[in-house]
Amino acid sequence: MSQLLEVSGVSVTFDGFRAINNLSFQIGAAELRAVIGPNGAGKTTFMDIVTGKTRPDEGRVLWGEKSVSLLGLNEAQIAREGVGRKFQRPTVFEDQTVADNLMVALKKDRAPIAVLLFKPSKADHQRVEELAAEIGLSDQLQTQAGILSHGQKQWLEIGMLLAQEPRLLLVDEPAAGMTGPERDHTTELLKEAAKTRAVVVVEHDMDFVRKLDCKVTVLHEGSVLAEGSLDHVTSNQEVIDVYLGR
């Protein structure tokens, strides 16, 4: 399997605190991966580095078949390369409908004049309907995003990211605050998305990670402590000591 993202020997220090310490991480082009670890393990900083928000002091971050260095690109360029990120709090346009939110997110020419003159084509409307079906909001297309449940807003935001056709989706704690059925739907959504792209889920909730049923990377003090199936990593004595035993 070809690697889509390869992080190697990456370190970053903030005010003398080493947030990421010689981190190496690879993910394939169509793979689901969970990243777990105690608070302060470097999970958010790892995502910040991949998306260009934080520059590491050393190391390499290579992307795609041509091994492009993401470290030479800014946040907007990295997003255009196909890296999408979903934060914990959903950011949707509350006073717009679900359909409008998805339409705005479609991968289009973003030049200011093009945005002003944008008239959705039949194909655009069709794509919005497909996305709504994929995230489970087909019957909510004309609903204002502001009145959706917390879980539905999270799905809408995932849909908005999928609309941009990312090759890598970074998702931060998607299960937080969701009901049981919402969590189950989120699991299916992420598994489905990972059939055609790389999906990295940073999560604290072990039950949710178990349902994802994927390879798990455990971070501790800014580097990889263990990697493998959930059963494999949770039976690792070091992981138990630093993370699970608390």
pLDDT digits (tens, 9 = 90+) for 200-244: 999 988 999 999 999 999 999 999 999 999 999 999 999 988 887
pLDDT of residue 210: 96
Neighbours of 170 (CB within 10 A): 23
Strands 168-172 and 83-86: parallel
Q: Which residues contact 117 (CB under 8 A, 6 or more apart)?
A: none
pLDDT of residue 109: 61
**pLDDT (tens digit per residue) in 67-82:** 999 999 999 999 999 9
**Rounded to an integer, what distance in angstroms lies between the CA atom of residue 151 and that of residue 90?**
9
3-state secondary structure of 182: helix
3-state secondary structure of 83: strand
181, two tokens: 């059925």
Q: List the one residue out of 84, 88, 66, 80 whose CA is nearest residue 200.
A: 84
Contact 56, 8 (CB under 8 A): no
**Helix 122-135 to helix 180-193 angle, to the nearest 10 degrees?**
130
| Amino acid at position 179, single letter | T
**Rounded to an integer, what distance in angstroms lies between the CA atom of residue 172 and that of residue 175?**
9
pLDDT of residue 78: 95
Written as one string, the DSSP assignment of 116-178 is HH----HHHHHHHHHHHHHHT-GGGTTSBGGGS-HHHHHHHHHHHHHHT--SEEEEE-TTTT-
Contact 19, 13 (CB under 8 A): yes
**Rounded to an integer, what distance in angstroms lies between the CA atom of residue 236 and that of residue 242?**
10
242, two tokens: 């630093």
Contact 198, 31 (CB under 8 A): yes
**Rounded to an integer, what distance in angstroms lies between the CA atom of residue 91 and that of residue 153?**
8
pLDDT beneath 70, residues of the chain:
1, 107-117, 245-246
